[in-house]
Structure 1
Amino acid sequence: MIIIKNNKTYSKGLIKIITYTICIGLFLLMTSCNRNSKDKEREEFDDALLTQSSDLQHSGEFEALFRLNIKYLKKAAKMKYNAGKGLCYLNMAGLNVSAGNYEKARFFFNEAEKDLVNSENPYHKATFYDTYSEYYYHLKIYNKAIEYNGKAFYYLNKAKKTKLSNKLLPILYVNKGAYYAHKGWLGTSLKSFTKANMLENSAYTNCMLAQYYLYVRKPDSAGIYIARADEKMLSHKTSDVESLWVYYTMGYYYNEVNNSEEAEKDLKKALEINIKTRRTYSSHIKGVYKSLAELYKKKNDGGKAYFYLKKYMEEEARFDAARFAAMNKSTEDFISEVKKESDWRKNDLPLLIALSISVLTISGVYVRKFINLLKIRKKTLSEERDELKSRVYNRKLEELMELARKNDSSFFLKFKELYPDFIKALLKINPDLENSELAFCAMLKFRFSSKEIADYTFVQHKSVQQKKYRIRKRLNIPGETDLYDFFENLKE
């Protein structure tokens, strides 16, 4: 009986152990499934947010990009996904960098850093340091750009292999190549561009290699990659910004090899795309205008060179002001939308208050800095514009004097176009002056001697002297006044 009782007791204990083991196993399985489900949900969040943000930015869809990040910021709050919030802030930081709004970019970097650098996912750290390195590159602080690019590589090597991590790797190499090129480390730069092209082999990576070879004055090598970039652009679906880069690089290349027709055609295409994307990549449109000005300057077409330099200056002044006003307004709208959400955690309230205060304070400080910078830029560009304007004027003047030497019938007509105020001033003194007398005055303004005028107009020297005497009478010029000085200083 004792044996039977002990057997029953043993059986009950065994059943309990088995039951507990099954329960613990089920709990661990459910926890693991829940964790895997949460990880998958977050990976899908990251992929959707970053892919869509990149597409919208590359197509110049400014407002849609802000709306997307507002949507995902709310979604991250509901998911209690801090790194998701950080990615939204990072997107806005990157947008402000590409648009040149560096003060506001720094603010959003600070917000993104809190959530991404402390993330358990190494990819989040890698993408944060990559975007931060671009910020320092735009500021021309290349040592910092290289430092953060190195950190991005370090964390990406620790990250799980995903579609996003594979996409980020060639970007890191392209950026590394650009940073080292500006430091003068051309060997490292070329290796980085080559590695990026091996990984991605896109229109953009081929363009970067072409840009490198143009930079080191090897147009033959650049031409190989230009052809590949063009082929990739035509055979694959490229974003507007990637196509813009291809056309811009081809224009640069053809200008270097003195194929001005192809250079003009490609730069005009780049300009067309740039008008569409300028709100997210504003620095490009100024570069295209400037390249066109340099192209026409090289072609000795001073008129068009002056036109595009003027467009460059106007675009810089007009669009910079509009860009910052639009971005500040959109950022304020972004903050207002976030404030309306009732599901934000309480400790997010100080962040929102800080956002609001920072928008106001940063805007004021930045505007002052921006105005000072703009003044310096305008002064430099004004000097270049005046130089071009002077060149255009001198060329027209030389053409006009050549018409006078040939006694060309179009001389007086062209003269009136170049010096309308001079003719008005003469007619104000004597409205009855004839065209032949006005043309004679024009030749005196050019300080042609009596002998030169006689030779050019096929008359005797004595006749020219008589005409000078009549002009004095008709214009009431005193005898002691030098005739050439009178016409030189004549104003309406």
Structure 2
Amino acid sequence: MKNVRLTLLLFLCVCITAYSQSRTSREEFKLKVKANSKLFTSDINKAYPEINGLIKTSRILKDSISEMQLLEKKCRYFYNKNLVDSLILSSYQLQNASERYEDVYYQAMANVYMAESFSINKFYDKAIVHLNKAYSLLQKNQSNSKKIFYAKANLLSSFANLYLDKGEPRKASQKIMEEIKSGKEIHDKNEYADFQYLNYSNLASIYAEYDIDSAFFFAQKSISIKPMVTAEEKSMASNFMVLGKYYKKKKEYEKSVENFHKALKIIHRTGVELNLNDSYLALQEIYTETGKKDSAAYYENKIKQKDLQILQSKYNSLQEVIHKDEEEQNKNRLRSFLIWIFSVIAVLAASVFFYMRLKKKKTIENNHNLHELYNHLITLIQNNDPGFMFAFENAFPEFSDKLLKINPELQQSEIEFCALLKLKLTTKEIARYTFIETRTVQNKKYRLRKKLEIPQSVDIYNWIDTI
């Protein structure tokens, strides 16, 4: 299937430097960044809400390394969530920071993520431009550091993804083979095993497109060399998917279902949703073929929900903007590229302008301005505009932080749901705008009451309004 995405290798670097602020504050901040990095490897949904606050602190402390590391995590979060529009914006934030600090590694990674965004949207020429730029940056660096080595590995993975998007899996497998050969530069035994475990998992995913027997072999090889200290994460989920596809083709449906469910268990635990619909689709087909209509219908519904969440609200809107610019500026690709960038930034600029205009007033509680603000935000929701949360957080900058202080384990989706309650949307309106059932909305309200410890005697809207 053409929507297979390969895992990018990532190497995170933490550097301790002396600054003008107190050493204790810096050390505490470093520990927080390190803890977030560890949490990010096991559950990105819990780690992500902390990132924006950490980025603000890194800028206050003038810790450029941590700032770029955290910006790169934002890119990785949106990449793993298939949120292409947010990925593009985060990539440009990383690019600006890395150019300002003259850091080659993060400049290269910013270009890799941009290339992934363009490749997914079928702008292969633009993707190639960014990959070549990343390659040029890395070639100029002669440090032979681990960061640069892993950046080059990421680059090969991104080239492989590009060929997969173009429907050329054999060329994609060649790039992963190059990556496997580059592993000879790693001398630590465990590090080498971890590196190749991921590479063989990626290779198995590619071969699943045209040679399922070879895919089965490489998935088993990946599993066999996985270091004991390496937790089961997205690469292992990918291996289980390949095994599920293998047994599905062999019509060994019980083994196939078992492996797909193993993959889904890891995906739900880690929050990494790359290729999630591949598992849903395979399970739907198996249950349809075996006459289990209820189970087939369940996974068919999951597929539709995922498509609505990602494609309709995010991906399709981005494609329309890009295609419109592409049609109008077909004779001048550079100009088309710049117009597209400005069209994306315009959403942010409009939100910032709106927020700054409100800041000039004595108070946001002014009835006229409050009415105007709510109408603007509700319009964004009705249009499934990806800029909604950005505009909301600009208007209510302390809202997310206050919620997380009450319960640090709140997920981003729960914070977004609280934002809808803040705007006084009814259960039916939330259901209509977010494409879910009213019963699901009611269940979400019930779970929020428990997580935020809101008494049953207190109206949830009034409680949220005090945040």
| TM range, smaller chain | 0.5 to 0.7
User: Counterpart in 1 of 2:408?
Assistant: none
**1:208-219 equivalence runs, <5 A:** 208-216=202-210, 218-219=211-212
Structure 2 equivalent of residue 403 of structure 1: none
Answer whether contact 1:296 1:304 (CA < 8 A) is retained: yes
Alpha-carbon spacing, 1:191–1:170, altered in 2? closer, same or farther (3 Å): same
Shift of residue 277, structure 1, vs aligned partner: 2.8
SS at the partner of 1:267?
helix
Q: Which residue of 2 aligns with 1:258?
A: 251
Distance 1:209 1:94, change over 3 A: closer
Q: What is the root-mean-square deviation of aligned Cα atoms in Å?
A: 4.4
The answer as to whether partners of 1:58 and 1:241 remain within 8 angstroms in 2 is no
Q: Distance in 1 between matches of 2:301 and 2:236?
A: 25
Q: One-letter code of the match for 1:88? A: L
**Alignment of 1:310 onto 2:301:** yes
The 1-side partners of 2:273 and 2:378 are apart by 18
Secondary structure of 1:202's counterpart equals helix
Contact 1:55 1:239 in 2 (8 A): no
- 1:272 and 1:132 map into 2 onto residues whose CA distance is 30
Contact 1:293 1:309 in 2 (8 A): yes
Taking the TM superposition and a 5 Å limit, the aligned residue runs for 1:163-312 are 163-198=146-181, 199=183, 201-216=195-210, 218-233=211-226, 235=228, 237-278=230-271, 281-282=272-273, 284-312=275-303
Distance 2:252 2:75 in 1: 39
1:306 Cα offset (Å): 2.4
CA distance in 2 between partners of 1:225 and 1:57 (Å): 27
Pick from 58, 65, 85 the counterpart of residue 48 of structure 2.
Answer: 65
Distance 1:314 1:105, change over 3 A: closer
Q: Relative contact order, CA 8 A, sep 6+: which one is greater?
A: 2
Q: Report how far residue 142 of structure 1 moved.
A: 3.0
**Which of 101, 104, 107 pairs up with 2:89?**
107
Unaligned runs of 5+ in 2: 1-15, 184-191, 316-348, 358-372, 387-431, 436-467
Deviation at 1:234, TM superposition (A): 7.0
Q: Could you say what secondary structure the match of 2:231 adopts?
A: coil
1:204-262 deviation digits (Å, cap 9, x = unpaired): 3112212222212x222222202102213474513422222221222122222332222
Query: Equivalent residues in 2 for 1:19-98 (5 A)?
Result: 55-68=38-51, 70-79=53-62, 81=64, 84-98=66-80
Question: How far apart are 1:149 and its partner, in Å?
Answer: 2.1
- The range that moved more, 299-308 or 120-129, is 299-308
| Aligned residue type for 1:266 | N
In 1, distance between residues paired with 2:205 and 2:275?
15
Give a deviation string over 1:164-191, Cα, whole Å, max 9, x none.
2222322221221121132244453222
- Paired with 1:94 and 1:196, the residues of 2 have a C-alpha distance of 20
1:271 deviates by 1.5
Residues matched between the structures, number: 306
SS in 2 for 1:238: coil
CA-to-aligned-CA distance 1:440-487 (integer Å, 9 cap, x gap) = xxxxxxxxxxxxxxxxxxxxxxxxxxxxxxxxxxxxxxxxxxxxxxxx
**How many Å apart are 1:126 and its aligned residue?**
0.9
8 A Cα contact 1:77 1:85, kept in partner = no
For structure 1, the 5+ residue unaligned runs are 1-35, 325-349, 379-492
**TM-score calculated relative to the size of structure 2:** 0.54
Secondary structure of 2:78's match?
helix
Tell me the alpha carbon deviations over residues 287-344 of structure 1, each in whole angstroms, 9 at most, x when there is no partner: 32222112223445444322321343356558999999xxxxxxxxxxxxxxxxxxxx
Q: Which amino acid aligns with 2:94?
A: A
Distance 1:363 1:169 in 2: 44
Match 2:383 to one of 368, 373, 380: 368
Distance 1:48 1:316, change over 3 A: farther
CA 1:132–1:55: 2 relative to 1, 3 Å: farther
Q: Which residue of 1 is the match for residue 457 of structure 2? A: none
Distance of aligned partners of 1:185 and 1:311 in 2 relative to their CA distance in 1, 3 Å threshold: closer
Alignment of 1:321-340 (within 5 A): none
* 1:150 is the counterpart of 2:132: yes
Q: How does 1:444-463 map to 2 (within 5 A)?
A: none
Change (3 A) 1:87 1:37: closer
After superposition, the Cα gap between the structure-2 partners of 1:179 and 1:118, relative to the gap in structure 1 and judged at 3 Å, is same
* SS class of match (1:196): helix
Task: List per-residue Cα deviations over 1:51-86 (Å, max 9, x = no partner).
Answer: 8666533422323333245225413432363x6534
2:72 and 2:106 in contact (8 A); partners too: no
The answer (yes or no) to whether the contact 1:59–1:241 under 8 Å persists in 2 is no
CA change 1:319–1:139 in 2 (3 A) is closer
Change (3 A) 1:321 1:150: closer
Alpha-carbon offset, residue 50 of structure 1: 8.8
Counterparts in 2 of 1:287 and 1:214: CA distance versus 1, 3 Å: closer
What is the aligned-residue identity percentage? Answer: 15
> Which residue identity lines up with residue 300 of structure 2 in the other structure?
L
Report how far residue 158 of structure 1 moved.
Answer: 2.5
Q: Distance in 2 between matches of 1:136 and 1:224?
A: 32
Q: Which structure has the highest helix share of the two?
A: 1
